[in-house]
Structure 1
Amino acid sequence: MKIPKFFLLSIFLLIFLILLPTKVMAEKSIPYAPKGLVVGIKKTASVAMELLKVKKNYNVLSMSSVGPDNKTFIFQTGKGKEQKVSDELGKSPDIAFAHPNYFAYGIDLPNDVLFPKQWSLINTGIAKEGGDHAWNYSKGSDQVEIIMLDSGVDDAHEDLQGKIVKMVYCPQPKENGETGDCTEDGVLGKDNVGHGTMVAGILAAATNNRRGVSGSGYNTKIISVKVLDRDTGTGEAVGSISTILKGLSWTQNYVEAHPEKKFIVNMSFATYDESSVDPAFVKPAAYDEIFNQLWGKGVLLIAAAGNCGSSCPSTNGKVLVNPDSYPAQSARVLSVGAIGPDDRHAAYSEYGMNVDLSSPGGVADNGLDECFIDLNTVGSSTKCLVSTWPGDQYAVVRGTSFSAPLVSGVASLVWSRRLDKFPGSATNADIKSLIEGHADSSISDTGRYFLLGKVDALAAVKAASQETAAVISPTVAVTPTPVNISCPSTCQTGLPEKNRGNANCDSQINEGDYQIWKSEFGKTGDVSHHMSDFHCDNSDKNSQVVDLIDFEIWRRNTTSL
């Protein structure tokens, strides 16, 4: 079920989580088939006598021979008793071996129990049975970490142990408006909602450990910054912009203190633009300054596009349909929408040319708008995503909250590969261009619901392996509405970024400017002679090339895109 409700408490603008799970598995994952035992009887023992004793003493439901010597058997015992019974059988002097009926996996894929249900990893080229995939080139590294701003994390979860570098807690404002500072706190930083733990599992669950799910970032680790907390009235997760800004400020300080590392910030929350139903609504521009600072420090910013694609209620009770959402719409942020297993736009997902990429977010398994699957059943499948849930449990979920961390995980793979091969050209702008420029534009909703198509982990990681990565420029089929604006100079340093994009100085930001950018795309050198270099300033390390950043500035400043 979607949770798109929004509230306004006191003077604080609240941020709501994208989605909560619809079904949770209530037990730990196991790396073997339920009820199954594999038992070998010693050659010196009487098979008939041993079978009789086993059946009598251990309440065996059925048995069958699987070995060519008729001394190896599969026993079916009670669910949950597999390990105990095999341990007891192993003590018998006439039993050669006894163990649960473990799963076997292809050698190029992880052995995590729920991996077969993670279609999203196959869909995006992260993993592929019997074929080339991103994990063949990169499994992440200690050089790249993901800072997750969310509702905290269950760091004790069986599938997240050893993957959480640090836990930070940022308190929500008190009733008098006072806000405290963010502090490292392994207790208050724990997830009391579930959302952050699910996001963490998609980002970087322990992979190839014979349990649970596989994290898209494989070996990548997480810093959890808790900026969302449980609402005592609704049970939903919510946070104020002031608390999120505190978390981003802590992030900036941490980044500055660790120049030896590269950082990705994942944000799976949204504030929706309600100006269409509330003239008094003011767009939350507070993010822009801190995002510009973080970008200047080399941080890659990724956010969920939001779940109001169909509709959701505003704070004044009216209906919002596909409104802009923040921080996803901030200029420095890579915005991620959701698709289903068929690569089609998920109805709940925000859409339009303001959404940069699509990524699997899941769709309902039935007509009741729910995710439904028995995670304990071998061979079962789901159109939703599977991830970790507090208390060593697992959940099936859907939403752009879970599309974004998959892209963040891909970014960690791409960045790690680039650092390994060509560390001199591994800036945040380089990685963003590699991911955006190698998106799969062949999916049918490209150019309609999403600007650049679907994230393609394999293509991006392989491109990161090349010294001169061939970046594909986006194609825009929509004719934008002209926007009147002045043009100060070829290199547009004298204008705020929000007003840049007029390449031909005709007082309009329109398709003509896009065509100029397209013709100049990839050019380097003296950018003062490039009409479409909209971001050439001293703070941008990648300002010596006409690239996707320039395209993004043009796109965001053209109202119909």
Structure 2
Amino acid sequence: MSVNDLFDKSDNIELNDSVDIEDESTDQVAVAPKREMESPEFQALVQELSSTMGVEGITYAPNEVIVKLNPSIASTNQINALQTSLDAKVKESTQTMGIQLWEIQGMSVAEAIALYGDDPAIEYIEPNYIGSINTTTPNDPEYNRLWGLNNTGQTGGTPDADIDAPEAWDIETGNNVVVGVIDTGVDYNHPDLNDNMWTNPGEIAGNGIDDDNNGYVDDVYGWDFANDDNDPFDDNSHGTHVAGTIAAEGNNGIGVTGVSWSADIMALKFLGSSGSGSYFDAIQAIEYATMMGADLTNNSWRGYSFSQGLRDAIAMAGNAGQLFVAASGNENNNNDTRPAYPASYNLDNIISVASTDDDDRRSGFSNFGSTSVDLGAPGSSVYSTIPGGGYGFKSGTSMATPHVAGVASLVWSDDPTLTAQQVKDRILATVDPISDLQGITVSGGRLNAYSALTGSTPPPVVPVIFDDFDPDVDNSQWSNITK
């Protein structure tokens, strides 16, 4: 809807008494009467403009417009009339371009543009937008420790051997994409995680009733399948560390930031305090994430025995449109010849992740596989959240995997219409090629968040397999349950 279209609907356009006009019609400035500004049509146009302009005072300066008059049409009286109607004064002018900055008091910026955007005396009128080079650098005090997000050489590594997170945050910092963390639980009280915890909208906490009839009573943050209770609190530290890399709250002035500043973490505990758990508990956790609508899950764990039940659960998640991001393992193993599960199941919805260090080399412990491991991501000496409100370093493909899960959540935040396959394909097609992963991973490269957001959706990638685990976790029980 144009302003002219709006005014043409009125048979009697009045002129504001405070505006001077010339005798000739070519010099007249039509100033909308108050009743036109209050009309539903005008307000709808203002609302439309406001939604595209952003937030006044944040994305553009309040009470200011940039104006360029049409010198072949605008007369002195017309200019005076415009400034009077806007209660405007010229704050600054360019030297040679004829562009002025007007301070307005008579109406909002959106109203001014709606009224005079089509006026022939004005070449253009627009907000005075605010630009900054720092808007996407979070104020979290430990951010500089996160070399995997932004490597400046702060750890002695190679600058830019990172996922280009600040560049990605120029485009998208995340929203409420639900990421299930299938792990040792999550410290849902951690000050850097508590605001980004998923909560079950269908459950009333503490009433002892299965309000949403999903088979789980008081499952507020998720479920503890290891102990069969509704408290998925982390008694190991592994899951909380993983969750922080995915979605520690960004720009909150506390600790660190996740790849996504505001994804929702669903806590699904199946690994006990020792870091081990059963396949059946994992199957239940995957089923829960699928049933409760998680967009993707992070799986920083592995075993070396095939389970049809586990494969079926992951396939069911894929049929529901869910990504399954899995760690490849930490035994310097070739997963092509000795599969590590769940990463090595040949399912389209799995992304299998290797670990890289701050020099863009494959971490010495990381598993690999030219057909079974998809890509690398930072996994050596990663700093993140740990239970009790603290922070610490861990290494492993378990730490690389949440970087990929975080980027997947950013891509979905930016374009919710993408399918799981499209998100996966885009991530794999936009890696930074690195020599250490050439020939031993499907993509031959390391994760790049910025490229994943800006790259077009590529042709489908041939389905591959996936894998992972972490040296910080005792895997002895896996051996017991898989023999």
What TM-score results when the alignment is normalised by the length of structure 1? Answer: 0.51
SS in 2 for 1:406: helix
Q: Do the aligned residues in 1 keep the contact of 2:162 with 2:358 (CA within 8 Å)? A: no
Aligned-partner Cα distance in 1 for 2:191–2:317? 33
Aligned match for 1:116, one of 144, 150, 155: 144
Q: What is the identity percentage for the equivalent residue pairs of Structure 1 and Structure 2?
A: 29
Partner in structure 2 of residue 211 of structure 1: 254
Residues 136-155 of structure 1 deviation map (CA, whole Å, 9 limit, x = unaligned):
1111122x210111111111
Q: Does 1:141 align with 2:161?
A: no
Residue matched to 1:248: 286
Q: Which amino acid aligns with 1:361?
A: G
Q: Is the 8 A contact 2:375 2:447 kept in 1?
A: yes
Matches within 5 A, 1:84-483: 106-122=134-150, 123-128=161-166, 133-142=167-176, 144-166=177-199, 167-172=221-226, 185=230, 188-230=231-273, 236-255=274-293, 263-273=295-305, 283-309=306-332, 323-332=338-347, 333-353=350-370, 354-362=372-380, 384-419=381-416, 423=417, 426-441=418-433, 443-452=434-443, 453-463=445-455, 469=456, 471=458
CA deviation vs aligned residue, 1:278-301 (integer Å, no higher than 9, x gap)? xxxxx2232221212111111011
Equivalent AA in structure 2 for residue 304 of structure 1: A
Q: Which whole-Å CA distance do the structure 2 matches of 1:250 and 1:352 have between them?
A: 30
Gap regions ≥5 residues in structure 1:
1-104, 174-179, 231-235, 256-261, 274-282, 312-319, 363-383, 464-468, 472-521, 523-546, 557-561
Contact preservation (8 Å) 1:126, 1:410: no
| CA apart distance, 1:352 | 1.6
Within 2, Cα distance between the matches of 1:204 and 1:172?
24
In 2, distance between residues paired with 1:192 and 1:239?
A: 13
User: 1:125, CA displacement in angstroms?
Assistant: 3.5
Which amino acid counterpart does residue 121 of structure 1 have in structure 2? L
Gaps of 5+ in 2: 1-132, 151-160, 200-220, 467-483
Q: Any idea what SS the aligned residue of 1:286 has? A: helix
Question: Any idea what SS the aligned residue of 2:277 has?
Answer: strand
- How far, CA to CA, are the matches of 1:310 and 1:430 in structure 2? 29
1:552 aligns with 2:459: no
How many Å apart are 1:107 and its aligned residue?
A: 4.1
Partner of 1:258: none
Task: For residue 126 of structure 1, report the CA deviation from its aligned partner.
Answer: 3.8
CA offset at residue 160 of structure 1? 1.0
Confirm or deny: 8 A CA contact 1:191 1:390 kept in the other structure: yes
Contact in 1 for aligned 2:175/2:261 (Cα 8 Å): no
Q: For 1:26-65, list aligned pairs within 5 A.
A: none
| Separation (CA, whole Å) in 1 of partners of 2:352 and 2:198 | 25
- How much does 1:416 deviate? 1.1
Report if aligned partners of 1:328, 1:334 keep a CA contact under 8 Å in 2.
Answer: yes
- Aligned AA for 1:110? P
What is the aligned partner in structure 1 of residue 480 from structure 2?
none
Residue 439 of structure 1: CA displacement? 1.4
- 2:346 counterpart letter in structure 1: A
Secondary structure in structure 1 of the residue aligned to 2:435 = coil
Count of residue pairs the alignment pairs up: 299
CA contact (8 A) 2:196 2:247 kept: yes
- 1:117-148 CA deviation, whole Å, 9 max, x = no partner? 101002444434xxxx1111111122x21011
Q: Is the 8 A contact 2:138 2:257 kept in 1?
A: yes
CA shift, 1:221, in A, is: 1.5
Structure 1 residue 159, shift from structure 2 partner: 1.0
Distance 1:356 1:470 in 2: 17
Secondary structure of the residue aligned to 1:326 is coil
Change (3 A) 1:210 1:447: same
| CA distance in structure 1 between the partners assigned to 2:266 and 2:249 by the alignment | 15
Task: Note if contact 2:225-2:284 (Cα within 8 Å) is conserved in structure 1.
Answer: no
Whether contact under 8 Å (1:359, 1:404) holds in the other structure is: yes
Are the structure 2 counterparts of residues 321 and 416 from structure 1 closer, same or farther at C-alpha, using a change threshold of 3 Å?
A: closer
Conservation of the 8 A alpha-carbon contact between 1:120 and 1:341: yes
Change in Cα spacing, 1:391 to 1:352, as seen in structure 2 (3 Å) is: same
Give the drift of 1:240: 0.2
- Aligned to 1:272, the other structure's residue is in SS state coil
Q: Helix, strand or coil for the counterpart of 1:111?
A: coil
CA contact (8 A) 2:365 2:396 kept: yes
Task: Give the aligned CA root-mean-square deviation in angstroms.
Answer: 2.3
Match of 2:41 in 1: none
Structure index of larger Rg? 2
Change (3 A) 1:322 1:428: same
Q: Aligned pair in 2 of structure 1 residues 190, 470: CA closer, same or farther (>3 Å)? A: closer
Give me the whole-angstrom Cα distance separating, in 2, the residues matched to 1:431 and 1:310.
27
Tell me which residue corresponds to 1:68: none
Work out whether residues 308 and 323 of structure 1, in 8 Å CA contact, stay in contact via their aligned partners in 2. no
Q: Is the 8 A contact 2:282 2:310 kept in 1?
A: no
